[in-house]
């Protein structure tokens, strides 16, 4: 019997890194496939996991690191900081952001500077740019970094400062980045610096300088995504100069089409945000607010409402994209003109007050989650993190759990004959509708709250549908909601303590009504 040849892991990793730098990523991906099942020595785990991260083999990277991150038996040597940090970086790539942040929060950045870098990446994925700035400033002070790594950190700090509208600090930093990237021949970073400079001039109303830098950024752009960003900011500049310009709207529509083709969902979100805010379209601004599950992104929109002296609506009727008979879905944001049915995700009831959904159960949580983002489909990691926030992510197990949840949801949709579709494409999930239909989503997002809050949210919504502001007894509430009297009484008392339910009388004469 012939023995398998011994692998020189250091030489293999070095050859893969060279291939990645030369753009031969597919070759590395194929060779990783042939390495499955091979035990990699611990001293090489982080290096091979990093190769996996750079070649979109993130699940394999988690697999090889898991024995030292979540060992079944005690390790002879404790888990190293760099191993945990790399595991978190792979979780970020797989959209399991909360778990990644939880791991990174336990690590000492003074022992491994990349802890701060990966934390910044996780915060950027959640649109939390104000929190990114101090993290990256601390990261760039590390003595472990190269000049190139510091430049990458400064680039992200500059982008974060622009988002936070701190133009006093952003301007000089961007000017320095343009000079440094040009003199060092860092072409990709130089193109990025030119785009950031254009953003700075657009936000400060310096149109000629902005156009000059957009042209330079366009000439330096090496990838379709970079060209998309240039066109996005050119269209935004045109709309900012004249919100009534029909050509600006047409330019944004062209950007949307290209963003959909490239599957850059956040550009679709930003196009709606800027068009709605610059041209004062309240419904479009509301759509972006209710269709964006990111806390800091929503805060940005609430600032617009406050500046205009308006309050944000409490709920929004979202029409999922239409799914055609030919199997083609409309682009994100394209839906029926006038829905004929509406389902309230808060209460789990239709317009007639009929309860169709068990509140807080898996189907309810899945629908609320899928309806929380109108733009970006949910990956397995992102969906699993929302449905099972206290459980560690494992790609194989998570895929099975999500598939089971989708199967249950589709069965429930068929049983109630709703024109709703759960679409799966490239292991990404989103909602669509087969005919005119809307889902009522609410400002408070129960899927992100504890289970009791989710149940209370649904409980109050259903009582409102049945009783409005009339008074009722605990027994009447129980009969309306088809639950036991003791459960109704317990939940009524809890909501009374939070001020959502008003109580009058005592004993058998106790009556309840909802807060007006």
- Which ranges in 185-264 belong to alpha helices (H)? 187-203, 207-220, 224-241, 246-262
Q: Give the Cα separation of 272 and 332 in Å (integer).
A: 11
Query: Token pair for residue 165?
Result: 């509208």
Do 91 and 381 meet the contact criterion of CB atoms below 8 Å apart? yes
In angstroms, the Cα distances linking 324 to 167, 294, 332, 508 are 46, 30, 14, 55
What pLDDT score does 34 carry?
86
What residue ranges of the chain have pLDDT lower than 50? 1-2, 325-329, 331-334, 336-337, 339, 446-454
What pLDDT score does 340 carry?
64
What pLDDT score does 339 carry?
47
Query: Token pair for residue 260?
Result: 């959909």
Q: Give the Cα separation of 259 and 257 in Å (integer).
A: 5
What pLDDT score does 499 carry?
80
What pLDDT score does 341 carry?
85
Q: Which residue has the tokens 């499955």?
A: 36
Q: Give the Cα separation of 115 and 93 in Å (integer).
A: 15
Compute φ and ψ for 431, nearest 5 degrees: -100, 150
Q: Give the Cα separation of 227 and 129 in Å (integer).
A: 23
Q: Give the CA angle between residues 181, 185, 188 to the nearest 5°.
A: 65
Query: Token pair for residue 289?
Result: 């607010």
What pLDDT score does 198 carry?
97
Q: pTM (2 decimals)?
A: 0.82
Do 466 and 347 meet the contact criterion of CB atoms below 8 Å apart? no
What pLDDT score does 407 carry?
97
In angstroms, the Cα distances linking 494 to 442, 473, 475, 489, 503 are 21, 15, 16, 9, 11
In angstroms, the Cα distances linking 418 to 302, 328, 436 are 33, 19, 10
For residue 376, the tally of other CB atoms under 10 A from its CB is 20
What does the longest C-alpha to C-alpha distance in the chain come to?
Answer: 87
Burial 152-174 (b: 16+ CB within 10 A, else e): bbbbbbbbbbbbbeeeeebbebb
Do 213 and 194 meet the contact criterion of CB atoms below 8 Å apart? yes
């Amino acid at each position: 019997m012939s023995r398998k040849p011994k692998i020189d892991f250091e030489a293999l990793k070095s050859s893969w890194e060279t291939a990645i730098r030369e753009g031969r990523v597919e070759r590395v991906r194929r060779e990783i496939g042939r390495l499955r099942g091979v035990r990699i020595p611990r001293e090489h785990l982080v290096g091979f996991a990093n190769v996996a991260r750079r070649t979109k083999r993130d699940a394999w990277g988690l697999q090889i690191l898991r024995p030292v991150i979540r060992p079944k038996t005690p390790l002879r040597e404790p888990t190293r900081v760099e191993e945990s940090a790399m595991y978190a970086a792979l979780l970020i790539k797989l959209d399991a952001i909360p778990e990644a942040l939880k791991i990174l929060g336990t690590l000492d950045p003074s022992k491994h500077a990349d802890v701060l870098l990966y934390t910044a990446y996780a915060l950027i994925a959640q649109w939390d740019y104000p929190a990114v700035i101090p993290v990256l400033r601390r990261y760039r002070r590390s003595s472990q970094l190269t000049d190139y790594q510091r430049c990458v950190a400064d680039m992200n700090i500059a982008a974060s400062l622009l988002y936070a509208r701190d133009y006093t600090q952003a301007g000089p930093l961007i000017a320095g980045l343009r000079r440094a990237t040009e003199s060092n021949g860092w072409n990709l970073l130089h193109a990025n610096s030119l785009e950031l400079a254009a953003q700075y001039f657009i936000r400060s109303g310096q149109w000629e300088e902005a156009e000059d830098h957009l042209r330079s950024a366009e000439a330096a752009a090496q990838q379709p995504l970079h060209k998309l960003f240039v066109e996005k900011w050119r269209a935004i500049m045109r709309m900012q100069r004249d919100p009534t310009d029909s050509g600006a709207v047409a330019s944004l529509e062209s950007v949307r089409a290209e963003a959909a083709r490239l599957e850059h969902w956040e550009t679709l979100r930003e196009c709606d945000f800027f068009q709605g805010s610059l041209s004062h379209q309240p419904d479009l601004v509301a759509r972006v607010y209710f269709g964006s599950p990111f806390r800091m992104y929503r805060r940005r929109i609430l600032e617009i409402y406050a500046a205009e002296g308006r309050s944000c609506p409490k709920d929004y009727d979202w029409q999922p994209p239409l799914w055609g008979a030919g199997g083609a879905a409309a682009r994100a944001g394209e839906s029926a003109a006038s829905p004929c049915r509406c389902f309230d995700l808060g209460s789990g009831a239709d317009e007639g007050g009929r309860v169709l959904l068990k509140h807080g159960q898996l189907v309810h949580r899945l629908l609320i989650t899928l309806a929380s983002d109108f733009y970006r489909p949910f990956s397995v990691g992102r969906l699993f993190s929302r449905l099972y926030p206290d459980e560690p992510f494992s790609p194989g197990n998570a895929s099975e759990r999500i598939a089971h949840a989708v199967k249950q949801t589709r069965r429930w949709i068929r049983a109630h004959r709703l024109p709703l579709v759960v679409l799966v494409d490239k292991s990404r999930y989103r909602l669509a509708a087969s005919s005119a239909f809307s889902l009522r989503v609410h400002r408070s997002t129960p899927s992100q709250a504890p289970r009791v809050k989710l149940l209370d949210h649904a409980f109050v919504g259903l009582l409102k549908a049945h009783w409005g502001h009339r008074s009722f007894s605990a027994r009447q509430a129980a009969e309306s909601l088809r639950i036991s009297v003791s459960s109704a009484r317990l939940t009524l008392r809890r909501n009374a303590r939070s001020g959502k339910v008003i109580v009058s009388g005592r004993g058998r004469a106790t009556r309840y009504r909802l807060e007006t």
